[in-house]
Amino acid sequence: MKKENFWSRLGSHMPKLYTKIALLMTLGIMLAVPALAAEDMWTVANRIIVDVYNKIAGVSTVLAGLMSAVAVVGAKLSNNQHKVDQAWDWLKRIWIAWAIINGIGAFIAYVAPLFSGLATLTP
């Protein structure tokens, strides 16, 4: 008897429940904004990588110039031979680090065109 009572109570509310569900689904479909991408993922990723690398290379160039000047001034003004040798060692490290950072960019610029057609999916 409890089952009949439950189904009879639920049966009278079913049209209202179906109407509410249909209304919510219709509103959800109508208010959904389609997401259309202007560019594909590879173009955006390439643009971001190039932009970030250009900023890193620019900052590293400015810092390498500044730190080279500091190392040369430190080497020229020092009376202690040990400090002079340390300054020239730091100058070599600065130049090597700068060459590596810019070498990565040159390598990517050379290798990227070789892989230009490989990032595509064809059905």
Q: How much is the pLDDT for 94?
A: 92
Confidence grade of residue 54 (pLDDT, cut at 50, 70, 90):
confident
Token code pair at residue 23: 């209304």
More confident residue, 95 or 31: 95
Instruction: Give the pair of three-digit tokens for residue 85.
Output: 């040798």
Residue type, 110: Y
The secondary structure of residue 101, as a DSSP letter, is: H
| Residue labelled with tokens 């400090």 | 83
Burial 14-49 (b: 16+ CB within 10 A, else e): eeeeeeeeeeeeeeeeeeeeeeeeeeeeeeeeeeee
The whole-model pTM stands at 0.55
Residue 100 CA to its chain's centroid (Å): 22
